Amino acid sequence: MNLRRLPFTREISLGVLVYLYVPVVVLIVYSFNANRTATVWTEASLDWYRKILTNPSIRNATWNSLVLATAAGIGSTLLALAAALGMRTRFRGAGLVEAVLNAPLILPEIVVAVATLMLFVAIGIDMGLIAMIPAHIAFCIPFAYLPIKARLEGMGPSLEEAAQDLYANRFVTFRRVTLPLLWPGIMAGFTLAFVTSLDDFLTSFFLSGPGSTTLPVYIFSAIRAGITPEINAISTIMLIVSVALVVTSFLLGKMRR
Amino acid sequence: MKWNGFLTASILAFTVAGAAWSEEEKVLYFYNWTDYYPPELLVKFETETGIKVIQDGYDSNETLIAKLQAGGAAYDVIVPTDYVIAGMISDGLLQPINASEMSNFQFVKPEFQDPEFDPGRVYTAPYTWGVTGIAYDSAQVTDGKLDDSWGVFFEPPTELEGKIAALDIGSEVIQAAALYLGLPQCTESNEDAAKIYALLEAQKPKLKMYSADSTVDRMASGEVAMHHLWSGATARAHEIKDTVRFIYPREGTPMFRDNFAMPVGAPHPENAKIFIDWMMAPENAAAVTNGIAYANSIESAEFLDDKWKDAESVNMPPEFADRLVPTDVCSPAAQELRDKIWTRLKG
C-alpha cells in the first residue's frame, strides 16, 4: 500500500494546510481593517500600526520579548554547542546527561516554571529579566541541541581526523573545519531556541517583574478588556520577523554548501 | 585611630550618599488590569510629578493575588476588586495608606467613602465601579425596549432565543440567578442550589454561548442580541453601535468596585501615595471615565465628555441607585455549592 498512491492525498494535505494557516492569514488581513470589530470589514487602513507605535505597553512588551529571545537564543545555542561537542565521545553516564539535557521537552512547563519561581524567591533573586533569562536559556537548550547534534552526526569524524593528520591542533581544527561545517546546524538551533523563547508564556508569566511583561503575557492579560486590532498588527510584525529569521538562516545554510 | 583627612572625607561621603539613598527614586510600579487606564493620563502624571510609571497588566483578581503571594515581584500600586479586599487584608497582603487623610479625599462621592470591605478607607482608595447587568440591541427587539428585570435574560422572549450570550463566569451567573429567585447570594442550602440549577439548566438551550472574552465586539457586531455584560463593556459597544442599551435589573444589580491599594513590600511607598492621592482629583478621575468608559467614584461630572453623559451604562440614572447590590464574599461551603452547580451546568 503506497502512501503516495492513496486517493485524495493531495486534497487532504491542502485541506489541512488551509485549516492551519487560514486563521493566520485572517489575522494579518484584519490588522489592516479600519474598524476595530474583528468580524466586520470596513476599509483598509494603517491606523493600528500607527497606534502600536504610541502604545507604551505594547512597545515595552515587544522590546522585552525580543531582548529575552535574543539572550536566551545566544546563551542556549552556546551551551548546546558545547554539549553536542562534548557528547561525541561515549563516556560513562552519557545517557543520563542526554536525558537531563532533553528534560525540558518532557517535563510539563508549568511544573518547571513554578519550581523555578520558588527557587528564585528562596535564594533572593528579584523577578524580572535577570530571572527570566537563565530560566529561558534552560528550557531552550534542547531545542538548540537537537539540530546541532544531528548535523554533527551527519558530518562524521573523517574530516576532523584528516585535518589533524595535516598537523592542525584542536583549536585550529575547530575553527577552520568543524565550525564552518556545523554552522547551518548552529543557525537552525539558534532560530528554534529564539522562536521557542519568543512564544513562551508560562515561564515568562511566573517570573515577570515590574516592567518585564513579554508580548504573550500582555496579549493574555488583554483578554478581559478585549483583543484590539493593535494585537493583530503587532502579531503580523512578529510573524514577519520570525519568517525573516528563518529565511536568513536557511539561506546561510545554503551558502555554506 | 588617627583622625585624618581621608577618614573625614569618607564619613562625609557616606553621610551624603546615605541621604541621597533615603530619597525614593522617581519610579512607580503600577500593576493594573490591562487596558484599564488611559495612557495619556500616565503621561500627564509623569509630567506633573516627575515620577516615571511602569505599568504591567493582569487579567483577573486571582492572577493578581497569585503574583503577590508567590513573592519576588514587588509592585507599588495594585487594583483589586471589592470582594477580594477583605481576604487580602486579613492575609496581610496590603499595607495601610490612610486614603481618608489624603488631601483629595474630599472629592470622593459619599457612598464610596466608607465601604464595608475597608471601613474608614485605611487600605484602599476608590477607582472605578461598574455593574453587571444586561446589554441588548434595541434594533433586534420588538418595541425596542425590554423589561427591567433578570426575567428577560433567564426566561427570554421567543424572538431572542438562540441569540443570547451569558458570561462564562460561574460566580456572576449564579449571583444573578440567586437575585432573580430572591435567594441569598451565598446560599449554603441544597434546596436553594437545586432551584438555581434548575433555572440555569432551563436557560441553557436558549443561549448561544457562555463567554467573557471579546464581549464588546460580540455586542457591537450584532452577533448576539442580548448579553449578560458589564456596564463599561456595554458603553464601549454603545460607542460603536448606538442601538445598544443597558438594563439595571430591579431584582438586584450586582455592583463591583475597583480600588487602589498598596501591597506589603512596595519598593516606592511614598510615590504610591502621591499617585493614589492624585487619582482622586476630579479632572483625573473624569479622564479615566472618558478613556475607558467605566464610571468613577469621584464628584467629577463637570469634567465628563458629553457622549458619556447620556449613556446610561456609564452615567447611571439616580433612581436606579437602590437596585445596586454589593457582591457578598462566600464561605467555603457556599463556594463549594457554587462550584457544583457550575460544573454540572457546563457538563
Q: Which domains does chain A have, with CATH numbers?
A: 56-255 (1.10.3720.10)
Say whether B293 sits in a helix, a strand or coil: coil
Q: Which residues of A touch B53 (CB under 8 A)?
A: none
A70 Cβ neighbours under 8 A, 6+ residues apart = A194
Q: Is residue B251 packed enough to be buried (19+ CB in 10 Å), middle (13-18) or exposed (0-12)?
A: middle
According to the model, what pLDDT value does residue B9 have? Answer: 53
Residue B249 pLDDT level (bands cut at 50, 70, 90): very high
Give per-residue pLDDT as tens, B68-101: 988 767 899 999 999 899 889 999 999 999 999 9
Q: What is the rounded distance in angstroms from the CA atom of residue A43 to the CA atom of residue A30?
A: 10
Weakly modelled stretches of chain A, pLDDT under 50:
257
Given the candidates 3.40.50.300, 3.40.50.150, 1.10.3720.10, 3.40.190.10, the CATH classification of the domain at B130-255+322-346 is 3.40.190.10
Element (H, E) at B88: helix B82-90
Look up cell 467555603; give the residue. Answer: B332
Q: How many residues does chain B have?
A: 347
Contact B73 A226 (CB under 8 A): no
According to the model, what pLDDT value does residue A160 have? Answer: 82
| Residues B40 and B225 sit within 8 Å (Cβ to Cβ) | no
Domain spans of chain B, in order of start: 25-128+257-311, 130-255+322-346
Query: Which CATH superfamily groups domain B25-128+257-311?
Result: Periplasmic binding protein-like II (3.40.190.10)
Q: Which residues of B touch A56 (CB under 8 A)?
A: 39, 42, 55
Rounded to two decimals, what is the model's pTM? 0.79
Q: Which residues of B touch A224 (CB under 8 A)?
A: 33-35, 59-60, 212-213
Higher pLDDT, B138 or A254: B138
Q: What is the rounded distance in angstroms from the CA atom of residue B52 to the CA atom of residue A204?
A: 24
Tally Cβ neighbours within 10 Å of residue B17.
10
Look up cell 449613556; give the residue. Answer: B311
Q: What is the rounded distance in angstroms from the CA atom of residue A5 to the CA atom of residue B154?
A: 56
Residue B202 pLDDT level (bands cut at 50, 70, 90): very high
Helices (H), B155-228: 170-181, 190-203, 215-220
Which one, of B58, B49, B56, lies nearest residue B284 by Cα?
A: B49
Mean pLDDT for B190-199 is: 93
Q: Which residues of B touch A218 (CB under 8 A)?
A: 34, 57
According to the model, what pLDDT value does residue B17 have? Answer: 46
Q: What is the rounded distance in angstroms from the CA atom of residue B135 to the CA atom of residue B244?
A: 7
Q: What is the rounded distance in angstroms from the CA atom of residue B133 to the CA atom of residue B314?
A: 12
Q: What is the rounded distance in angstroms from the CA atom of residue B53 to the CA atom of residue B49?
A: 11
Residue B24 pLDDT level (bands cut at 50, 70, 90): confident
- CB-nearest to B39 from A55, A208, A227 is A55
Give the percent of chain B with pLDDT over 90: 50
B27-33/B77-78 β-pairing: parallel
Q: What is the rounded distance in angstroms from the CA atom of residue B53 to the CA atom of residue B38?
A: 13
Give per-residue pLDDT as tens, A91-132: 888 899 999 999 999 999 999 999 999 999 999 888 889 899
Side-chain half-sphere of B18: how many Cα atoms within 13 Å? 6
According to the model, what pLDDT value does residue A132 have? Answer: 94
Q: What is the rounded distance in angstroms from the CA atom of residue A225 to the CA atom of residue B233?
A: 8
Q: Which residues of B touch A206 (CB under 8 A)?
A: 70
Do the domains B130-255+322-346 and B25-128+257-311 match in fold?
yes
Which one, of A146, A142, A10, A213, lies nearest residue B56 by Cα?
A: A213
Q: What is the rounded distance in angstroms from the CA atom of residue B342 to the CA atom of residue B172?
A: 11
Mean pLDDT for B3-13 is: 56
Phi, psi of B181 (to 5 degrees): -85, 0
Q: What is the rounded distance in angstroms from the CA atom of residue A49 to the CA atom of residue A240?
A: 14
Tally Cβ neighbours within 10 Å of residue A134.
15
Q: What is the rounded distance in angstroms from the CA atom of residue B97 to the CA atom of residue B201?
A: 45
Closest residue of A to B167, CA-based? A224
Give per-residue pLDDT as tens, B30-52: 999 988 898 899 999 999 999 99
Q: What is the rounded distance in angstroms from the CA atom of residue B347 to the CA atom of residue B337?
A: 15
Is the interface score ipTM higher than 0.90?
Answer: no
Angle at B344 between CA B339 and CA B347, to 5 degrees: 120
Contact B57 A57 (CB under 8 A): yes
pLDDT value at B219 more than 80: yes
Element (H, E) at B95: strand B94-95
| Residues A210 and B29 sit within 8 Å (Cβ to Cβ) | yes
Residue B143 pLDDT level (bands cut at 50, 70, 90): confident
pLDDT value at B20 more than 50: no
Residue B14 pLDDT level (bands cut at 50, 70, 90): low
The type of residue at B26 is: K
Which one, of B235, B208, B55, lies nearest residue B129 by Cα?
A: B235
Contact A210 B54 (CB under 8 A): yes
According to the model, what pLDDT value does residue B98 have? Answer: 93
Find the chain A residues whose C-beta atoms sit closer than 8 A to any C-beta of B. Answer: 36-40, 54-57, 60, 117, 120-121, 125-128, 131, 206, 208-213, 218, 220-228
| Residues B249 and B150 sit within 8 Å (Cβ to Cβ) | yes
